[in-house]
């Protein structure tokens, strides 16, 4: 009776499928998580700034950085081919056009509703 090596349960895919030659390894998720927590803390403490415009800029810049980190590392877009990036750009442009197109329907135009004295 020959002893065969059997993979642990749940890892059959790792043994049966050969590894890709462009395998990038796993990013340091703990480092990314701590970075996201630090950026979150900066966002919370940004509310102590007295200038509303500066708070707006800080919060949105940090939110863009955090969203980029999540997209790049947790959703593995950093290692995807150029076609995926093209599709992501197309989706973002469509979202931008949707927001611009729906803006007049969402924001009330009060200058036409208020009669002039």
pLDDT for residue 51: 87
Residue-range domain boundaries for the chain: 25-74, 81-105
Global model pTM greater than 0.85:
no
Mean pLDDT of 24-35: 83
**Whether residue 116 has pLDDT greater than 70:** no
**pLDDT tens, 59-71?**
989 998 999 888 8
- pLDDT band (50, 70, 90) for residue 45: very high
Kindly tell me the burial class for residue 39, based on how many C-beta atoms sit within 10 Å of its own C-beta (0-12, 13-18, 19 or more). Answer: middle
Contact 65, 39 (CB under 8 A): yes
Cα 78 to Cα 35: distance, rounded to the nearest angstrom: 17
């Amino acid at each position: 009776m020959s002893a065969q090596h059997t993979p642990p349960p749940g890892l059959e895919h790792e043994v049966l499928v050969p590894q890709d030659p462009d395998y990038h390894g796993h990013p340091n998720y703990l480092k990314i998580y701590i970075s996201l927590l630090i950026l979150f803390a900066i966002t919370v403490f940004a509310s102590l700034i007295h200038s509303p415009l500066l708070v707006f800029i800080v919060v949105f810049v940090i939110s863009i950085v955090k969203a980029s980190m999540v997209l790049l590392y947790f959703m593995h877009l950093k290692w995807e081919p150029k076609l995926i990036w093209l599709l992501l750009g197309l989706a973002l442009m469509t979202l931008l056009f949707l927001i611009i197109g729906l803006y007049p329907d969402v924001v009330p135009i009060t200058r036409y509703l208020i009669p002039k004295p």
